[in-house]
Copies of this chain bind each other. A is one copy, B any other.
């Protein structure tokens, strides 16, 4: 078990040279934001752009397309047929505002790409109801449940130590990274290690905060970070951006403020 600190994080970042083009910064696809929950995928999308992705595509439906264009004109909005072209993406992030979907959607995505992906929110809820999908999750994928989502996945725990043990077991057994969000977010790895994040504060307990994290981790994954570094850098900068934003927003901080402070967290950590 180890406590991740600023000096560790700096080394985990990829460096890009001056001749990098937008393909080098990765092309990702975010899936979610259906029905009345398009706001969640907007937060993930803006967050991924601000974390440095070269190209962010979003799968959305009907009128939601316009909502996304207005909220993040840098993103590309796709129709359903994009599910047949998953290979062209460096990373996928699935779940924010996805709503209830048939398990076949996840099953098909898992089977049509072997690449690690980020699974959050409603995607985790599908997994909770369908344990038969667990071993189909591409190896090295990153699951980002908050406490309640984790409970749905693995049942109630009587205390946090038990919960951490369950997280580690789940990660080892299914060969995934399990990011358990909370006051000290833990990252459990397929080889049984456990990391604890040192950034963030209570003002980040606000609607959409988790959607922002999903965008950040997916972005790093798409930029070519391995899943461990993507997870650690994601939770670290998410927390640091939240700390920076709450200096001026205090209790009034909202998820959008976290996104707006991502660049400042890069500057503070001297990530060029």
Contacts and interface: CB of A to CB of B under 8 A. Distances in A.
Interface residues of A, number: 67
Interface string A215-252: 00000000000000000000000000000000011111
Contacts of A254: 49-50, 74
A169 interface: no
Interface in A61-80: 63-67, 69-79
**What is the copy number of this chain in the assembly?**
4
Interface string A185-212: 0000000000000000110011111000
Contacts of A38: 66, 69, 73
Given A76-B37, A202-B20, A263 B253 contact: yes
A252 to B, nearest CB: 4
A147 interface: yes
A161 interface: no
A42 interface: yes
Contacts of A63: 63, 66
B21 A146 contact: yes
A53 to B, nearest CB: 8
A22 B262 contact: no
Contacts of A271: 250-251
Contact of A205 (B25, B77, B255): B25
Interface in A25-56: 25, 36-40, 42-43, 49-56
Nearest to A268: B250
Contacts of A253: 263
Given A25-B206, A54-B206, A39 B267 contact: no
Nearest to A73: B39
A110 interface: no
Contacts of A53: 206-207
Given A20-B205, A25-B205, A55-B207, 10 more contacts: A18-B183, A39-B74, A50-B254, A53-B206, A53-B207, A54-B207, A63-B63, A66-B66, A66-B67, A67-B69
Interface of A: 16-22, 24-25, 36-40, 42-43, 49-56, 63-67, 69-79, 146-147, 182-183, 201-202, 205-209, 248-256, 262-264, 266-267, 271-272
8 tightest Cβ-Cβ pairs between the two chains A and B: A252-B263, A39-B73, A52-B251, A250-B266, A249-B263, A42-B73, A22-B205, A36-B77
